[in-house]
Amino acid sequence: MKILLPPSETKHPGGTGDPIDPAALALPELHSHRAAVIDALVDLAADEAHSRRVLKLSARQAGDIVHNRMLRTAPTMPAIDRYTGVLFDALDAPSLPAASRRWLGEHVWIHSAPFGPIGALDGIPSYRLAAGTSLPGVVPMRRHWADATSDAIAAAEPAFVLDLRSEAYVALGPIPPALPSAYVRVVTDDGDGGARALNHFNKKSKGQLVRALAESRPRIGSLSSLLTWASKHDVVLRRTADAGVLELVVAE
């Protein structure tokens, strides 16, 4: 199984790893697409005023432009540790034992805007780029990434894909229809036999789900085996009328 996570706009600074090697990241077929975005971000960062306009940054966020300028030379840290925010705080990967972190490295991809999907333990620098940003010199992110990313995911031949991304990142790399997969929506029971979507608990619940998986380190190769795991770990995952969509049911 592979789990696809969205990234986060907020990130831990610093790092102790070597500068990024785009060719060494997961899904190496995406190397040329990664290089094009990295080059465009570095070039854009040479003009602070233009960077602020394109990236929609305030004057107080000028440090993010410096991060982009240093993309190829800055120290790195594992992607699962780089990102902060609600989902990654709930996952709390730094507190997991080594075996659980190895499980994350084997089973989790984080879908970033500049690098595409990367492995949880792939080293990345801090950066600033959102999925909907149009970079000078690069076609719109969706056109740049979607087909190449879908093809790279297909080439990896995962037995099953659990998609926890936001819709903006799904658009940057849809799961190929031929691959068994499930997209997760976070809901709560409304008391009348129906379900209500939960925006506030969406990211937190997804982070807690991935942490539970990492702690138990299951071998999952299908939707049925995922549902069996969930039933044994007090996780409420249920099928919906929409093929390929699961509901993660949580309490408010």
CA nearest to 108, candidates 243, 220, 239, 252: 220
Q: Which of 2-6, 34-38, 192-196, 236-240 has the lowest mean pLDDT?
A: 192-196
pLDDT at 59 (0 to 100):
87
pLDDT at 251 (0 to 100):
85
End-to-end CA distance of the chain: 29
How do residues 115-151 score in pLDDT, each as one tens digit?
A: 999 999 999 999 999 999 999 999 999 999 999 999 9
Burial of 88 (0-12, 13-18, 19+ CB in 10 A): buried
Q: Is the dihedral of CA 70, 75, 77, 83 positive or negative?
A: negative
pLDDT at 81 (0 to 100):
98
How do residues 205-220 score in pLDDT, each as one tens digit?
A: 999 999 999 999 999 9
CA nearest to 136, candidates 9, 31, 50: 50
How do residues 19-60 score in pLDDT, each as one tens digit?
A: 999 999 999 999 999 999 999 999 999 999 999 999 999 988
The pTM is what? 0.95
Both structure tokens of 82: 């780089």
pLDDT exceeds cutoff 70 at 191: no
